[in-house]
A and B are shown apart, each in its own frame.
Chain A
Amino acid sequence: MMKQEIICAGFGGQGVMSMGQLLTYAGMLEEKHVSWLPSYGPEMRGGTANCSVIVSETPIGSPIVTEGTSAIVMNLPSLIKYEKHLAKDGLLLINSSLIDQKTSREDVKVYYIPANEIANELGNGKAANMVMLGAFLEITKVVSIDSILAAFKKVFGPSKEKHIPMNKEALEKGAAAVRG
């Protein structure tokens, strides 16, 4: 891995920002160069949410991702908006539970992951972001699942530590969904 430039996108409440933060924190714990840049605007829950994450072996110049190496899209507007910001041969992870159409890109590597269904099977629909993250890590190996779990404590604080086993399971189910 030289440099991963990742776009995480969905609607507010899907855990898009925290998915990006976990990735960023985990990268830092692995002593890589990292940056996290959110879109910010007047919208809140239900509005669009996205963040750009860079995890790199070398120092990061601009934190803005104009041509991503990967995109994780959680809903249809995000697919439409961000598939065009993906570099040729980039990686596109689509949450097929909420997106019932295919990408228009033919020059990228695409995975369709029914993240909400998988998360619901685990008894927590809110873990769809972790399912997608697990799939992403399985394909790219940008950071380890252990680093994500270590980051979990930092990002969400000690009071949320009880949720770690469930989130670990979601990461593993996501990984299993793209293993094959």
Chain B
Amino acid sequence: MAKILMKGNEAIAAAAIKGGCKYFFGYPITPQNELPEYMARELHKTGGCFVQAESEVAAINMVYGAAGAGARVMTSSSSPGIALKQEGISYIAGAELPCVIVNISRGGPGLGGIQPAQSDYFQNTRGGGNGDYRLLVYAPATLQEAVDLTMEAFDAADFYRNPVVISADGMIGQMMEPIEFKEAPKRELLPKDWATIGTKGQREPNIINSLALDPAELEKHNIHLKEKYDLMEKNEVRYELYNMENAELVIVAYGTTSRIVKNAIAAMKEEGIHVGLIRPITLWPFPMKAFDAIPETTKALLSVEMSMGQMIDDVKIANEGKLPVHFYGRSGGMIPTPDGIVESVKKVLGGEK
């Protein structure tokens, strides 16, 4: 299929429809509005349904309901809107229902601003909701990757019966790049015999619930969930390694920031400084094993983020105390520049040499 030029938000929406999304519930917030707009315009054409909810809380609970009926369902929002959805997300994870949640993030905390940020790393990977649950979190760096991952996300959600998050920032939502809708890899999926679609008097009712008052029963449920998350850690980790050979320093960056880092790496190459990049594509499960590829020449790690430093915690866990871990970031909607990154690398290497 020929390439087409689309805005990130629209491309994600189009990819979701191609991925089988039939229902979308959302509430407006910048910088992701083109996504629900596209859904409002297009979803009904495939026999699906778009509803603008009265609030984010309502939207995520509509997702809960549709997912419980076995439908492929999605919601999207931006940082403070995702914060409002956390209760629902925890319930959905607890009830083991599949859905896809898009976070086109912006600066925070609170209402914050509307410019791009990556300060929802904790929110997305640590869970803003309560309890022992995990979300599979994809962090695309290009629109093509956003499209590919969104198309795959619905299968992944169904496979694990768990919410999947597409974590991108306002820049990916707003920019345009050529994309191509490719055939997404399919997973072997079981029938949704747990869905509450009416017994027709022929079976016992299915019950969807996240309440378990018996501690022994709840612990058993949590052990079952943990086994599922272990399987995700084993099978779902994705990352990119870039320019790692003879790297004096390795940067860890994801999404938009990783693209800026690549410009900085090219600039440093011209000066004879070798810098590698580990780019997590799944933020959870975090690509711990990518750190095995760090060469012996590497003296330090640098986490570069559009936040005050959140992913750096996972970088430190993955590093297991082996190398010094440094941080460079901009926040509040300010975007790191290649020059700023180069300067930061030089400062680190100056100190480590």
Residue of B nearest to A33 (CB): B178
Interface membership of B263, Cβ < 8 A: yes
One of A38, A42, A61 near B175 (C-beta < 8 A): A38
Which B residues lie within 8 Å of A40 (CB)?
A: 30-31, 114, 170, 174
Interface membership of A96, Cβ < 8 A: no
Tell me the interface secondary structure of chain A in the complex. Answer: mixed
In the complex, which residues 246-263 of chain B have their Cβ closer than 8 Å to any Cβ of chain A?
A: 256, 259-260, 262-263
One of A21, A34, A42, A63 near B259 (C-beta < 8 A): A63
Interface membership of B197, Cβ < 8 A: no
How far apart sit A37 and B178, CA to CA, in the bound complex (Å)?
A: 12
Q: Is the CB of A64 within 8 A of B260?
A: yes
Interface membership of B280, Cβ < 8 A: no
Interface membership of B88, Cβ < 8 A: no
One of B5, B171, B262, B263 near A21 (C-beta < 8 A): B5
In the complex, which residues 34-78 of chain A have their Cβ closer than 8 Å to any Cβ of chain B?
A: 34-38, 40-42, 61-64, 66
Of the four ranges (under 10, 10 to 19, 20 to 34, 35 or more), the interface on chain B belongs to 20 to 34
Interface membership of B335, Cβ < 8 A: yes
How far apart sit A41 and B147, CA to CA, in the bound complex (Å)?
A: 25
Interface membership of B29, Cβ < 8 A: no
- Given A40-B31, A40-B114, does the pair A61, B263 have CB atoms closer than 8 Å? yes
Q: Is the CB of B114 within 8 A of A66?
A: no
Which B residues lie within 8 Å of A25 (CB)?
A: 5
Within the complex, what minimum Cβ distance (angstroms) separates B4 from chain A?
Answer: 8
Q: Is the CB of A24 within 8 A of B266?
A: no
Interface membership of B177, Cβ < 8 A: yes
- Given A61-B260, A63-B259, does the pair A34, B178 have CB atoms closer than 8 Å? yes
Within the complex, what minimum Cβ distance (angstroms) separates B307 from chain A?
Answer: 17
Residue of A nearest to B170 (CB): A40
Within the complex, what minimum Cβ distance (angstroms) separates A156 from chain B?
Answer: 13
- Given A21-B176, A35-B175, A154-B5, does the pair A61, B170 have CB atoms closer than 8 Å? no
Which A residues lie within 8 Å of B262 (CB)?
A: 61-62
User: Of residues B4, B174, B175, B339, which shows the largest number of chain A Cβ atoms within 10 Å of its Cβ?
Assistant: B175
Within the complex, what minimum Cβ distance (angstroms) separates A47 from chain B?
Answer: 14
Which A residues lie within 8 Å of B4 (CB)?
A: 154
Residue of B nearest to A155 (CB): B5
Interface membership of A28, Cβ < 8 A: yes
Within the complex, what minimum Cβ distance (angstroms) separates B99 from chain A?
Answer: 27
How far apart sit A88 and B171, CA to CA, in the bound complex (Å)?
A: 27
Interface membership of B338, Cβ < 8 A: yes
Within the complex, what minimum Cβ distance (angstroms) separates A125 from chain B?
Answer: 27
Which A residues lie within 8 Å of B178 (CB)?
A: 28, 34
Which A residues lie within 8 Å of B177 (CB)?
A: 34-36, 63
How far apart sit A154 and B2, CA to CA, in the bound complex (Å)?
A: 13
Which B residues lie within 8 Å of A154 (CB)?
A: 4-5
List residues of chain B with CB under 8 Å of any chain A CB.
Answer: 3-5, 30-31, 114, 170-171, 174-178, 256, 259-260, 262-263, 266, 335, 337-339
21 A-B pairs (CB sep. < 8 Å): A24-B5, A28-B3, A28-B5, A28-B178, A34-B178, A36-B176, A36-B177, A37-B174, A40-B30, A40-B31, A40-B174, A41-B114, A61-B259, A61-B266, A62-B259, A62-B260, A62-B338, A64-B171, A64-B335, A64-B337, A66-B339
